[in-house]
Amino acid sequence: MTQLPLPLPWLDLLTEGDAHPRRFWAEQDLTDHLRRAERLAPEATAQLLAEGQTGPPLARRSYRLRGTVRSSSSD
């Protein structure tokens, strides 16, 4: 019996003013990006991870998370 490939999850970060989401394969990669590139406060990062969104007054702009699942087999 052949096993089908497992779906691969990822996280999309949607940022106010940016039409294209940034994609992350691991939560640690996302938190590193939020800390280094976006300079998001730890409180805003925690809210984003817990609730799926954050914005003013914790962050200077709005951020949303979207979790998706990609099938690794071609359609």
- 5, two tokens: 């490939």
Q: In 3D, which of 28, 15, 2 has the Cα closest to residue 66?
A: 15
Residue 69 has pLDDT above 70, yes or no: no
Q: First-to-last CA distance in the chain?
A: 21
Quick one: average pLDDT of 28-42? 96
Quick one: average pLDDT of 44-56? 95
Residue 30 has pLDDT above 90, yes or no: yes
**∠ Cα 16 22 24 (to 5°):** 135
Q: Provide the pLDDT confidence category of residue 68 given band limits of 50, 70 and 90.
A: low
